[in-house]
Chains A and B, each alone.
Chain A
Amino acid sequence: MRERLEQLKQEALEHLKSVADAKQLDELRVKYQGKKGKLTEILRGMGGLSAEERPVIGQLANEVRDAIDAAVSSHAERFEREETERRLASETIDVTLPGRKLPRGAVHPLTQVIQEIEEIFIGMGYQIAEGPEVETDYHNFEALNLPKDHPARDMQDSFYITEELLLRTHTSPVQVRTMQSMDGEVPVKVICPGKVYRRDDDDATHSFQFHQIEGLVIGKNIRMSDLKGTLLTFMQKLFGEDTQIRMRPSFFPFTEPSAEVDVTYKKKGATEPSWLEVLGCGMVHPRVLEMSGYDPEQYSGFAFGIGAERIAMLKYGIDDIRHFYNNDERFLKQFARQ
């Protein structure tokens, strides 16, 4: 029996040397180690051995099994490795072909500018107020210190629907509505973004429809220096930390003092920044406060307004305002990066 085991071992190991692939290997494993394999067959004869011989032969049989197992495993590993290498060698792709992209659409550049500004002011504790686009003459003009015969008000400049109704010419009526809804309470801190309309012939820099973002703060001891500080922060967040602002005296019927604000801005292709006019602002006129229920001796406030189109045109170097309203896909899709 010992000889048969030794011989089996020799024979199996010899056979294994010439095995060519995983399939042959598996056949050999079954042939020697399977339930009906040669080793099992030999071991069936163990019953006829003496008590002394049995453990000796048993141990030998285990050694033979382990030797064959080891050889099988080593071949199996080799075949697996070779198989993997073959697969890897055959499985190649051209990684430079395009991938299946997620769909990508663009938020309109004007909306992007408005959202950016909204987020800046939300961060400074402002609410966002909205109001109707068809306004009463009272809210659009009279409550803003523009009585009916005011020289700064020209029927030809507005889209009237009736004598008392018109398309709002600025988002300031939203400020009026906000003040009135506050019923004399402070602080008021809002920005009012939205569409506005003025009779203007369309050309590259004029549009009869455009977007404004106006801001209003009312409280105790609001100073013009607060307005300047607020606008400096705003402009630095919008145009970069190095941005500087300057104010120039100006005139709006609803603010006094009034100012135009210039910012330092490096235009596309320019080497040095230049001063560009971007917004109008001022201290809320006492008449405006009075008319909306605030005592100007107790409260003060500031207001400002900025045009979304102008900012978008500056930021992206767009030279024709009409692009914003044509909705040419070639234009829109450039703004898909947000």
Chain B
Amino acid sequence: MKVSTQWLSEYVSLDGVTPEELAEKITRSGIEIDEIEQRNQGVTGVVVGYVKHKEKHPDADKLNVCTVDVGSGEDLQIVCGAKNVDAGQKVPVAVVGAVLPGDFKIKNAKLRGVASQGMICSAKELGMNDKLLPKDQQEGILVLPEGTEIGLPITHVLGLDDAVLEFDLTPNRSDCLSMIGAAYETAAILGRDVKLPAIDLIEAGGSASDKVGVTVENGELCSHYAIRYISGVKIGPSPQWMQNRLMAAGVRPTNNVVDITNYVMLECGQPLHAFDADKLGANIGVRSAREGEVLTTLDGQERKLDPSMLLITGEDRPAALAGVMGGLETEVTESTVNIALESAKFSGASVRKTSRKLGLRSEASLRFEKEVDPSAVIAALDRAALLLARHAGGSVAHGIVEQRSGSIQEKTISLSLPKLNAYLGTDISMLEVKAIFARLNFKCADSAEGIIDVQVPTRRGDITRDVDLIEEAARIHGYDNIPTTVIDGPTTPGAYTKSQAVRLNIRRTLTHGGFHEAITYSFTRPENTELFRAFSAGTNAVPLAMPMSEERSVLRTSLLPMLLESSEYNRNRKNADLSLFEIGKVFHSNEQKVTVQPTELTMLGLLLTGSKTEDVVGAQPRKVDFFDLKGAVESVLAELGLEGQYRADAPDGFHPGRSASLYLNQSPDKRVGVLGQLHPQLQRDFDLEDTYVAEICLDELYAAAMPEIEYRELPRYPSAQRDIAIVVDRSVEAGALLSAARASAGELLEDVRVFDVYTGEHVASDKKSVAIALTYRNPERTLTDEEVAQAQQNVVTALEQTFAAELRK
């Protein structure tokens, strides 16, 4: 809402308060002032002039030489190029020494040899927003009303000595969608009085009910509908002061009738509509639209209507969309003589629905949606009728034709002072509270000890309970005057939950291992939900009802496509080497068509691509491989006190020979993750180098993670280490050899690990040599050579039998 301070000062004195001070005060009291717009864009020395004569320029067809009286006693000769300049006009004249916006200084000049002592200006040259100018002022020089006084400063005539405050209203403060509402707010803040415009309406001519009748069918959607009948209007421009105020408010002047309805809407917050009464007909109705009805609205669009929309009808034909927009057919035009002026209260929800459905928002719908003040319906109607009589030559018929359901009642809310102070932590006295409500123009009456009954004016529909009054009191008292205190009550322990601690731990481990944490978008393109199905097999992706783009139209089902897109992004910026991880949610639905909340899994995604180079002189880059990735996964699990099992697998999206599924020792039947090389096809699709990715479901880790550390006493007796090298088929997994060794070595085996794998000229082409180190220890005593040899023999035998292993000597 644009609030002209000049206009505002008609209702509340702004003496001694600059627009900047006022803006600051209003902002600190709850309505943010986004901007202070100075209407004067830099005009000085421009005055009203009278064009006495106009002659053609001797040497230029398009120029005129004008003799202009600017009230200085001496006529000026001014060369003017505007087509519309003519003798007898009142025009803005920038005399020598004047300045126009853009610091354009007016000097004596010669145009094609003829002296020019100034410039006749267009509205645009005066810095006025051409979008808000009436159509006839958008071209050529600005022609002022005939009666304008010669010599007056133009800033005064056009109301440019004005600062406009842009009120950024929260949805509850629709009362300030009017100048009077803004005045009540300003008055409360400044502690001053509100002066309302007088409505001394003179009714003349016949009775309105002889001319029109009103029938409201849907009382629940239109609680009050009122018509005044004004006859004999003359369509013409509205007075300059009114046009100035409309432009300050961001509304383009049209003609006197339309301008008056807009002016009163801005003044009172009550939208009005003027019908051409002769086109509308005598029987005005308010009813729901019927299936198949159409209406061409003022903007020239034909609108298809349905029964959810409320209509105004004339002789049962659609004439306007109630509260949204009028119809073209019954519009006020140059030839209109008689007017049916409507003021009503339509249901906010109904107007909002219609306006949404048609994608049609107007200044009227904006106000009706937020519920207009029921008391303003008649006040605004009378105010507009008065102005039509005064500025459009109309005569207002006797009486109002109206239909209303229910009566207007001011709410009374009890407010307890002890509760107010307990709620705010303040110590405000009853006297102060009463003074605050007096400033707000809310009447109060004592009800009981410490309790007052506060009567809420109908314009403040947002105030419904005592806490709303507490807020009013607090904001006028000043939030700055609320003290700062410490919560009074039992102390509570604060801590991370286990799952939160697990995630912190994972972040620490991975960042200490050189991974950067990524955060990607939760929405993705549908194809991406098909790539990695390890955790979404048999489920459906969740689509948005109204996505902003195809690219972000479904919820992600895996973190991996998002990380691949991030690496693609980096690769396009010449960075092919990347270690990323993300912790975030993925979404799966078990339904074809989603009706219940989808499953949300918290996943850890890892991505490694390109090469690693140690940051020392002479270090050679090394391509990352599966074991870099697996090592990271192992480290994460180790930090969480977990141990994984890695089983060769070929999940969707992965290289079938270089990928695994992850299980936990603690729950070996449940897959908790997948890891491996990205399938070469996807690698090409995303234009990446060899890339390794892993995805682990954290929800599956939380339960077993972070067990207490179990301390084991340090060994008292020495261990013995024995190495063996065996030759087996290439397909035999190291993990299987180690399991077999563990199973066969007996209790003395403390540790077993593979320390070398060899393929090449010294072994057959389908074989490999695996070197295994075994550590034995007896916690009770020193080992004997014989028992170690026996255990070692058992291992060798087992490996020979199970894997046809040959011992390398």
Residues of A within 8 A of B (CB): 97-108, 110-111, 115, 118, 121-128, 130, 132-136, 149-152, 155, 159-162, 164-165, 167, 187, 189, 195, 197, 199, 201, 208-209, 217, 219-226, 228-230, 232, 246-251, 256-260, 283, 285-286, 300, 324-330, 332-333, 336, 338
Contacts and interface: CB of A to CB of B under 8 A. Distances in A.
Given A105-B515, A328-B573, A111 B507 contact: yes
Given A225-B485, A249-B479, A330-B573, A111 B423 contact: no
A125 B356 CA distance: 46
Given A115-B504, A325-B520, A247 B482 contact: yes
B548 A286 contact: no
A300 B423 contact: yes
Given A105-B511, A223-B423, 14 more contacts: A97-B616, A98-B616, A100-B615, A104-B511, A105-B517, A108-B518, A123-B494, A159-B523, A162-B545, A225-B484, A228-B483, A229-B486, A257-B470, A327-B519
Contacts of B171: 150-152, 251
Interface in B588-615: 594-598, 600, 614-615
Interface in B205-226: none
B510 A105 contact: yes
Nearest to B500: A128
Contact of A201 (B523, B542, B548, B584): B548
Q: How large is the interface on B (under 10, 10 to 19, 20 to 34, 35 or more residues)?
A: 35 or more
Interface in B390-447: 422-426
A258 B170 CA distance: 11
Interface in B359-407: 369-370
Contacts of A127: 492, 494-495, 497
A126 to B, nearest CB: 5
A327 B492 contact: no
A155 B353 CA distance: 11
Contacts of B566: 326-327
Contact of A256 (B467, B522, B523): B467
B448 interface: no
Nearest to A217: B487
10 contacts: A111-B519, A165-B597, A219-B489, A221-B489, A224-B423, A224-B424, A226-B488, A228-B482, A249-B30, A326-B569
A222 B487 contact: yes
Contacts of A219: 487, 489
Contact of B493 (A125, A133, A229, A333): A125
A98 B615 contact: yes
Given A247-B482, A248-B27, A249-B474, A128 B467 contact: no
A175 B29 CA distance: 28
A125 B492 contact: yes
A336 B515 CA distance: 10
Contacts of B579: 105
Contact of A107 (B507, B594, B595): B507
A325 B517 CA distance: 11
Nearest to A222: B487
Task: Identify the 7 closest CB pairs spanning chains A and B, nearest first.
Answer: A225-B425, A103-B514, A249-B30, A251-B170, A223-B425, A257-B471, A122-B494
A225 B30 CA distance: 18
A332 B517 contact: yes
Interface string B615-649: 11100000000000000000000000000000000
Nearest to A287: B465
A105 B514 contact: yes
A324 to B, nearest CB: 6
Contacts of B519: 108, 110-111, 324-325, 327
A164 B545 CA distance: 11
